[in-house]
Amino acid sequence: MTSFKQGNVEEHYEMGEELGSGQFAIVRKCREKRTNVEYAAKFIKKRRLSSSRRGVSREEIEREVDILREIQHPNIITLHDIFENKTDVVLILELVSGGELFDFLAEKESLTEEEATQFLKQILDGVQYLHSKRIAHFDLKPENIMLLDKNSPSPRIKLIDFGIAHKIEAGNEFKNIFGTPEFVAPEIVNYEPLGLEADMWSIGVITYILLSGASPFLGETKQETLTNISGVNYDFDEEYFSSTSELAKDFIRRLLVKDPKKRMTIDQSLEHPWIKAIKRRNVRNEDKGKKPERRRLKTTRLKEYTIKSHSSMPPNNTYVNFERFSKVMEEIGAAEESLRELEKNKRSFREDIEALLSIYEEKESWYKEENESIGQDLRQISQELQKTESLKQQTQEEMKSTLLSANG
């Protein structure tokens, strides 16, 4: 069991304003008293009883901590310290104060694909580092793509929130239903084995929204959203993609693929022409030969999307029913496994009955043969006994006759 520093975190850190909250976590700004450096303190509510659904289990907290301890990359949040008390585990994390990437971009009047891909390239670099360590984030979405400092001339991307990240072990099949419905891959919706490929689907959805301000699979209801994802039901509506290059669409198409094995990997994404050929992508085919003009993407719809997502989604952009759906799917999976086991046992039982019946019939036939053979032997013995009895009587009479002759 992983050990954390015991005691009061406020003896070492001065707590400040709340930065955000989730279902079982609160993030507050803090300052380390010893160094005066500012950090973010993530208070994770511990689950007191294994049967309870309130709080986060020790196993889940330790998994997040183990992953954060292993990570050291410019585009990923870093872990500084860990404390534990009776009710919470407190992670002292790098302070990422620049806000969400989408909010930052929505403030602009417009942006070029080159500007968009400069940020996307940082996301890909961070994910490549994770995948090189066999770590799947499983919750890549705009809310978890932050800027370290938005006032910097070249703002740096930071991937945050590793609460549901997992290390993908070779040979160990891993299934779960988690994440934010709008961004999850079909294999999560369908409760199929999961791997690093699920993150690539999420990057495809993020890129689609970044370039259009529209969400490719978002439906009127959560169930409709999940159905759209499972059926890969999306298109490039001209209303949203009239200014988008074919290379950008190709990049998205190669990520929004239902079969995880056919989906573009992180290394392939970084080698895609849209990411590499920056200077050529913003020129329309019909404009070749003319003075090159960068193609600009309007951010009006992206602004509408960010406002809508912030106002309509609960804290951390997830919903509790999805967790319940996960439990239901697990129970259905367990029931199906039980039914398969029952069917297997039924076939085995039928085979055993047939084998026993065959043995019985064979034995019955053998017993009949043996019975007939014994019957014949008994009849023969009976005849022999009768003959012996007859000879005995004859011998007795001869003995009597011999005695009489002897006496005479």
pLDDT at 290 over 90: no
User: Of 33 and 319, which is predicted with more confidence?
Assistant: 33
Confidence of residue 317 (pLDDT cuts 50, 70, 90): very low
**What pTM was computed for the model?**
0.72
Q: What is the pLDDT of residue 312?
A: 52
Q: Do domains 1-95 and 96-318 have the same CATH topology?
A: no
Confidence of residue 311 (pLDDT cuts 50, 70, 90): low
Q: Rounded to an integer, what distance in angstroms lies between the CA atom of residue 148 and that of residue 158?
A: 6
Distances from the Cα of 44 to the Cα of 1, 41, 65, 82, angstroms = 17, 10, 11, 11
Q: What is the mean pLDDT of residues 104-116?
A: 86
Closest CA to 16 of 35, 37, 36, 40: 40
For 158-201, write each residue's pLDDT tens digit: 999 999 999 998 877 788 888 889 999 999 999 899 999 999 99
H helices within 231-299, ranges in order? 238-241, 246-255, 266-270, 273-276
Q: What is the pLDDT of residue 284?
A: 43
CB atoms under 10 Å from CB of 316, counted, come to 19
Return all residues near 145 (Cβ < 8 A) that are at least 6 apart. 100, 101, 102, 123, 157, 158, 159, 160, 206
CA torsion sign for 270, 275, 277, 279 is negative
Residue at 139: amino acid letter = D
Residue at 10: amino acid letter = E
Active site residues: 139
Q: Tell whether residue 86 is among the known ligand binding residues.
A: no
Confidence of residue 94 (pLDDT cuts 50, 70, 90): very high
Q: What is the pLDDT of residue 333?
A: 66
* Rounded (10°) CA dihedral 310, 311, 314, 315: 40
Q: What is the pLDDT of residue 199?
A: 97
Q: Indicate the average pLDDT of the chain.
A: 85
Query: DSSP code of 24?
Result: S
User: Of 64 and 316, which is predicted with more confidence?
Assistant: 64
Q: What is the mean pLDDT of residues 261-288?
A: 75
Closest CA to 298 of 214, 213, 209: 213
The percent of the chain in helix, strand and coil, each rounded to the nearest 5, is: 50, 15, 35
CATH topology of domain 96-318: Transferase(Phosphotransferase); domain 1 (1.10.510)
Residue at 347: amino acid letter = R
For 360-396, write each residue's pLDDT tens digit: 887 888 888 878 888 888 888 888 888 888 888 888 8
CA 265 to chain centre: 17
Burial of residue 267 (number of CB atoms within 10 Å: 0-12, 13-18, 19+): exposed
CB atoms under 10 Å from CB of 397, counted, come to 10
User: Of 323 and 14, which is predicted with more confidence?
Assistant: 14
**Domain segments of the chain: what residues?**
1-95, 96-318, 337-388
CATH class of 1-95: alpha beta
Cα angle vertex 208, ends 142, 300, to 5°? 75
Pairing of strands 157-159, 145-147: antiparallel
Residue 147's DSSP bridge partners are 157
